[in-house]
Amino acid sequence: MAALLPGGDALDLARTLQSGQTFRWRWERGPGGGPVAVGVVGRDVFRLSQDGRELWLIAPDTPGGRARLTEYLGVSPAARRIPSIETALAADPVVARVLARTRGIGILAQDPWEVLVSFIVSANNNIPKICTSIDRLCRALGAPLGEGAFAFPTPDRLAAARSRMLAACLLGYRAPYVRAAARLIADGRLELARLARMPLDTARERLLEIPGVGEKVADCTLLFGLRHTSAFPVDVWVRRAVERLYFRGQPRTARQIQEFARERFGPLAGYAQQHLFCYARAHLRPRADDAPRRPPMRGDGGGARRPDRGELGGYRAIVANA
């Protein structure tokens, strides 16, 4: 039997798991032929499905499993409901239109250690390879959980891993970063759990001291692992979305984008980021005249700058809200 998860109807499982915050979920065919999401959270191997809106926990269907999954998905009664978040975000006309394509994305309550490592690995990398690397790390250094599943490696295990092994996990030049981070945690020089209770900017400073952690990785760790919902990671997709949807395609620095997000979305900035990110990935293809910011080449003929009415119909952002 499977358990119906109360409150799961507002969550879009596929969108949430594919929204770039986690790299450890896979899709399988269930007995009935429908898609089943399989993922490891802590020491649980969860199997979930969502037909229409109803969200089902297939396994492990135990009281403890239900409680842990509910917490992880952010659909516990204590959590702020997704509908109220989306209603608040829709006060912004741009996000209101984005939401039509992204509704139901939640922010998972992941283990900050796993998030930290995952996003160190994500730097200058592509998603299929990130998933492969994380999977190999778990197989090589994580506790076996049965069904061919493995827990995420502890800081101790990762801190003691041989370079040869990390290379076999395809970490490349990031291997020393990952191991240095592991040692910080293993030695007790850094306690991630404490960062969740610190002010955003203070916690961010701490994370930036970790090798391999820049602003983007720090913000992802804050948002996806440490419950800092006002964090606003700026990657290439979010940059593209903000520049095109709010600034008529004009370049902005990461700092400007973050300042904008903080002003406009406050404690919901992290959720806004998720929606903008997913919208950009699905609907805002790269264009010759954005991000790369290479100097124009000779003979470029003055480069056709498009007028850019805005992908969403020409809404002009009011930068500072009234």
Partner DNA sequence: GGGCAGGTGTAAT
Partner DNA sequence: ATTACACCTGCC
Q: Could you list the residues that contact DNA (CB under 7 A)? A: 19-21, 122-130, 132, 167, 170-174, 177, 210-218, 220, 233, 235-237, 253, 255, 277, 286, 292-293, 295
CA–CA gap between residue 285 and residue 280 (Å, rounded): 7
Give me the least distance between CB of 217 and DNA, in Å please: 3
Considering the complex, state which of residue 5 and residue 218 has its C-beta at the smaller distance from DNA.
218
Give me the least distance between CB of 295 and DNA, in Å please: 7
Q: Which residues contact 272 (CB under 8 A, 6 or more apart)?
A: 89, 92, 95, 232, 261, 264, 265
Separation in Å, CA 216 to CA 116, 123, 142, 163, 213: 11, 9, 26, 25, 8
Considering just the CA atoms, what is the radius of gyration of the chain in Å? Answer: 20
Give me the least distance between CB of 103 and DNA, in Å please: 18
Give me the least distance between CB of 209 and DNA, in Å please: 9
Stretch (H or E) spanning 15? helix 13-17
Give me the least distance between CB of 128 and DNA, in Å please: 5
Q: Which residues contact 154 (CB under 8 A, 6 or more apart)?
A: none
3-4 and 25-29 strand pairing: unpaired
CB 128 within 8 A of CB 141: no
Mind telling me the catalytic residues? Answer: 216
CB 204 within 8 A of CB 219: yes
Considering the complex, state which of residue 57 and residue 161 has its C-beta at the smaller distance from DNA.
161
CA–CA gap between residue 285 and residue 265 (Å, rounded): 25
State in Å, rounded, how far the first CA of the chain is from the last one. 53
